[in-house]
Amino acid sequence: MTNVCQRGHRPEIVLIDGGYGHNTSFLNQLEKRNLTYIGGLAKNRKVIIKKQKNIQEEIRLDQLAESISPQAFNLVQLSTKNAHEVWLATLEVQRSRMSGQKTIAIVMNAKNFSDATDINY
């Protein structure tokens, strides 16, 4: 990424492998350069959510997904070669060792967590 930026290129979005989604040093460098990025997270990754005005909770992503109301998920029709539907919810969270709020997406192949067989974070 450093070479790309040094050459004067500025990507609109940086897509990163899920393995880098846990590398806070790498992510902090992207943010230092004001780059927007999308990457995957493991279901056991912990995030910090606001429960109430001054109360926060650290929770695993899979537990967070299970706690979300089905009404929070929106149907998205994917128009690809193998078109299909997914259910998407976005949330604002904090990640340890990173500053500011982060937007995460939970994408499932069913509206209810209990019915989903494919869940991505």
Sort residue 97 into left (φ over 0), alpha (ψ -120 to 50) or beta: left
Closest C-alpha to 68, from 108, 101, 21: 108
pLDDT digits (tens, 9 = 90+) for 11-40: 889 998 878 878 888 888 888 888 999 988
The C-alpha atoms of residue 83 and residue 40 are separated, in whole angstroms, by 22
Domain boundaries of the chain, sorted by first residue: 1-40, 42-121
Cβ atoms of 33 and 26 within 8 Å: the answer is: no
The pLDDT, as a whole number, for residue 52 is 82
pTM assigned to the model = 0.81
Structure tokens at 48: 């910090």
pLDDT in tens, 66-96: 999 999 999 999 887 888 899 999 999 998 8
Q: What are phi and psi of 24, to 5 degrees?
A: -65, -30
